[in-house]
Amino acid sequence: MLCLRISLIPYKIRVNQFLLTNIFKIMKKIFSLLAAVLFAGSMFAAGAYNLTKVTSVENGGLYVFERNSHVLVGQLANDAVQTTDEYVNSGLAGNETYVWKLDAVDGKEGCFSIKNVAKAEAEPAGHIYLNNPEKTKITFSNNSTSDWKIEFTDGVALISNTSNSNRFLGETSTGSNAYKAYASQNLGDYGHDFTVYKLEESSDPYVSVTPATVDFGTVKKDASVDAKEVTVSFGNLTGAVTFSGLTAPFGAAGTIAASGDKITISASTAEAGEYSQTLTVQSAADSKSATVTVTMKVVEGADPSAAFELYTDAIVEGDYVICSDNSALNTTEANNRLGSTAVTPVNDVISGPSADIVWHIAKSGDYWTLYNADANKYAAAKTAKNQAAMQESGADDKALWTVTVSNGKFEFENKSRAAGTDPNNKWLRYNSQVSAFACYASGTGKALTLYKKASGAPAAVTKPVISGEANFQNEVTVTITCATEGAEIFYTLDGTEPTKDATKYTAAFKLTATTTVKAIAIKGEDKSSVVEKTFTKVEPLSCNEVYSKVKNDEVLLNDVTVTYANGKNVYVKDATGAMLVYLSEATTWKAGDVLSGVAGVVDIYYGLYEVKPSADQVAAVTATPGEAPAPVELTAAPVAADMNKYVILKDVTVSAATFTDKKLDATIGGETFVLRNNFNADVAFDTEKKYDITGVVAVYNDAVQLYFINAELHQATAVDNTAVDAKIVKAIRNGQVVLIRDGKVINMFGVEQK
């Protein structure tokens, strides 16, 4: 028997407190509250509970449902589960959200309503019943509308809703720990087997404390922090309950006379450092105890004399200035974004930054937090896209970031945004149009630059700065400077460490091959640290070769021809294939232009490959006018191998006259594909007609789509009493049906329209 403990405070006491402070609401809901009180009396008895695995259930019982080492809880979110180990160790105290009460349904043998204990306690008037109102949907409602049957086979249970075609409660995907209701024929595709435990009162002595962890977070030295409380639950003891274990900077106060009493934990921030201690609550006479882990990190505030140096390595804990070019992230909140401060690095160093732009980046599990000691808050995402804010907690998903570096630039990917409804809007980026930072899609702004606080006293000789384009095509000019007057610079090009015996720098020099330059500055007996910079010669690639690259790789394209341009989207081709060049701002490039010198970084936007040049790289491109290329004809539905091609599909039917959510289904040769109005064309179709549709092939989450550009009626139409020497077709132009011959609009008599 698996034996766990749960302490449930008598619910009637809470109802009385609620009555005293909310008399109006109680009067309005008197009947539902009376029902809740009766319900609570049968459930919330004080004391300890044993948790025993069962293979049958009964009316009025309290149960925990476990699957895949997780338990079903009273929330509707992907991460709304706790591991089995967690509830074993915590004894379920304070975790009533895991517990469900079964009530038999009148007239339906073996069927039960399922209500959540924690929800019944917090919301006695409603939203306590687990329901499956339609198809796969799972909700909580005021009343039970689902009659659940729980049937056991080989020690595990199937939970089915007999009110909705016997749909079974199942995991949405393996390891997701999120649940919906599925038809019986789909059981093999979804995890659906549950281990069931029953809670029964115990007379054994117990002591428990909730929460089991108290974290004061990262705080600024000498800042005031609010005290925190833990609740002690105990029963069936013969001795007194005492607590001990905390020393400076923590303190604990309180008197434990009855179950439910609280201990107040305080903290001092007088000294910088990381602290972790254990508070022990025990009944020595009964050999029963429980512990609370108390943690805090105290950091120094901004140092006006500190130097923050350009940082390009893998992220480590420390103090940073976070920049996009010369704009640094600050703590100002306006219009649901975080503000920016102009900075001017000198020799790759920001000296004495203001406190509101210094961020302590620290590890938190598999993620990182961005804490500002001056504001005593964390940089965080918000629920809506294109937003950001400061918040007090660094523990929830909105304040957690995945940080990666590529070519010296950093990406901050927000955990909550990545798992939300707009997962593409998850990157911390700078929006130059509003001079602010927020969580945007990857197309907004670019990866960020970090400056890390230097450790120790300033060096007698400043480190040199190596300048020049890191990625070049034919050759690059390299300059090396040092801010220390009278210092001499020595450098190497072969990877060895420079000394005063290395080549002395006297003037700028050129490189024509990929080379790492290392340099040191020396004045008398003093010398700087060694710096290095790699200059990479970028060899031109064909469009198809770009598809073998990874995100953030620097690439240079061979000469390419523009097939279609719309705003920031420029589609190009060469003899090998096609590519999307995605710009930060629209240009005058048009179909037919031959582009030379297109360089940028590779981005893979949900499976769609694109090259993203910077503004400077766009300015360096040479565009030579040429003849607009014809689209490539596809005789079947587009596939991933057609990505970014400018194409035409003939004899196509459509499923609707207009786009819904920018999409409709289209069919060619019996194959259906998604036609997407990505460029917001003003068009209406006749579902009885066939069309020749022009577009570009795109991919989103491995799903192939055709981005609509133009449509013409497929059927050729002869013109009565008119001599024609070319094919005449009907077409849709600006919402009107017109006649087309040789690409020109004609009237019904075959005369070209002016």
pLDDT at 747: 56
pLDDT band at 717 (very low <50, low <70, confident <90, very high): very low
34-43, 188-197, 573-582, 674-683 — which is least confidently predicted? 34-43
Tell me which residue range forms the domain holding 577: 540-624
State how many domains the chain has: 6
pLDDT at 561: 97
The values of phi and psi at residue 147, to 5°, are -100, 105
Mean pLDDT of 443-465: 81
Average pLDDT, the chain: 82
Domain shared by 289 and 424, yes or no: no
Domain shared by 168 and 232, yes or no: no
| More confident call, 503 vs 20 | 503
pLDDT band at 2 (very low <50, low <70, confident <90, very high): very low
User: What percentage of residues in the chain have a pLDDT greater than 70?
Assistant: 81
Mean pLDDT of 281-290: 92
Of the residues 235, 265, 299, which one is the last residue of a structural domain?
A: 299
Residue 215 in tokens: 């974290």
pLDDT at 20: 36
pLDDT at 192: 84
Mean pLDDT of 72-79: 48
- Which residues, other chains included, contact 638 with Cβ-Cβ below 8 Å and sequence gap of 6+? 645, 647, 649, 673, 697, 704, 705, 706
Domain membership of residue 690 (yes or no) is yes
Domain shared by 52 and 105, yes or no: yes
pLDDT at 623: 96
118-132, 380-394, 494-508, 685-699 — which is least confidently predicted? 118-132
Residue 670 in tokens: 């019996």
- Which residues, other chains included, contact 525 with Cβ-Cβ below 8 Å and sequence gap of 6+? none
The closest of 118, 109, 146 to 130, measured between CA atoms, is 146
Q: By three-state DSSP, how is residue 310 classified?
A: strand
The Cα–Cα gap between 265 and 272 comes to 19
Domain shared by 140 and 40, yes or no: yes
Mean pLDDT of 497-506: 95
| More confident call, 84 vs 593 | 593
pLDDT above 50 (res 8): no
pLDDT above 80 (res 542): yes
Mean pLDDT of 117-142: 73
User: What percentage of residues in the chain have a pLDDT greater than 90?
Assistant: 49
Domain membership of residue 742 (yes or no) is no
Domain membership of residue 98 (yes or no) is yes
Residue 189: count of CB within 10 angstroms of its CB: 11
Residue 310: count of CB within 10 angstroms of its CB: 18
Domain shared by 162 and 51, yes or no: yes
Domain shared by 99 and 144, yes or no: yes
pLDDT at 503: 97
pLDDT above 90 (res 457): no
Mean pLDDT of 445-461: 81
Domain shared by 499 and 366, yes or no: no
DSSP characters over 98-166: G-EEEEEPTTSTTEEEEEEHHHHHH-TTS--EEE--STT--EEESS----EEEEEETTEEEEEETTTTT
Domain shared by 592 and 700, yes or no: no
pLDDT above 90 (res 143): no
| Burial class (CB within 10 angstroms; exposed 0-12, middle 13-18, buried 19+) of 571 | buried
Mean pLDDT of 481-500: 94
Domain membership of residue 732 (yes or no) is no
pLDDT at 743: 63
CATH number of the domain enclosing 61: 2.80.10.50
pLDDT at 126: 56
pLDDT above 70 (res 699): yes
The Cα–Cα gap between 654 and 691 comes to 8
pLDDT at 218: 82
pLDDT band at 85 (very low <50, low <70, confident <90, very high): very low
Mean pLDDT of 115-127: 63
Domain membership of residue 753 (yes or no) is no
Exposure of 228 in the CB half-sphere (CA atoms within 13 A): 19
Domain shared by 277 and 330, yes or no: no
pLDDT at 171: 75
Domain membership of residue 723 (yes or no) is no
The closest of 261, 205, 214 to 233, measured between CA atoms, is 261
Of the residues 299, 324, 344, which one is the last residue of a structural domain?
A: 299
| More confident call, 29 vs 585 | 585
CATH number of the domain enclosing 657: 2.40.50.140
Domain shared by 212 and 317, yes or no: no
pLDDT at 731: 64
Domain membership of residue 692 (yes or no) is yes
Domain shared by 75 and 185, yes or no: yes
164-168, 431-435, 734-738 — which is least confidently predicted? 734-738
Domain shared by 323 and 388, yes or no: yes
pTM for this model (two decimals) = 0.46
Mean pLDDT of 451-477: 83
CB 203 within 8 A of CB 236: yes
Domain membership of residue 574 (yes or no) is yes
The closest of 491, 481, 466, 461 to 408, measured between CA atoms, is 466
- Which residues, other chains included, contact 469 with Cβ-Cβ below 8 Å and sequence gap of 6+? 476, 535
| More confident call, 48 vs 17 | 48
Mean pLDDT of 511-519: 95
pLDDT band at 693 (very low <50, low <70, confident <90, very high): very high
Mean pLDDT of 716-737: 52
Mean pLDDT of 536-562: 91
Positive or negative torsion for Cα 574, 576, 578, 580: negative
pLDDT band at 177 (very low <50, low <70, confident <90, very high): low
Of the residues 187, 202, 217, which one is the last residue of a structural domain?
A: 202
Region of 607 on the Ramachandran plot (φ > 0 left; ψ -120 to 50 alpha; else beta) = left
Q: By three-state DSSP, how is residue 343 classified?
A: coil
